[in-house]
């Protein structure tokens, strides 16, 4: 059975180390592009809820 590469089971420290290794593997030009794209992910400080790219499951209240 193949696993989904989008799902990882790792600690926060492991995740941060992996992300750092992946970032440092980029070329200087790719790092700069990443930096510029990071501004697109800014959020509206007046919004009720901060948007995330996380998969969130919420339990609906019965009523």
- Which residues, 6 or more positions from 34, have their beta carbon under 8 angstroms from its beta carbon? 23, 26
Q: Write the CA distances from 48 to 5, 45, 56, integer angstroms.
A: 32, 8, 16
pLDDT digit string (tens) for 49-61?
Answer: 666 677 777 777 7
DSSP helix/strand/coil, 60: coil
pLDDT digit string (tens) for 21-45?
Answer: 999 999 999 999 988 888 776 666 6
Quote the pTM value: 0.53
């Amino acid at each position: 059975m193949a696993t989904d590469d989008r799902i990882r089971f790792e600690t926060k420290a492991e995740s941060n180390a992996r992300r750092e290794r992946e970032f440092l593997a980029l070329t200087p030009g790719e790092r700069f592009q990443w930096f510029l794209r990071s501004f697109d992910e800014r959020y509206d400080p007046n919004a009720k809820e901060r948007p995330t790219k996380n998969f969130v499951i919420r339990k609906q209240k019965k009523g």
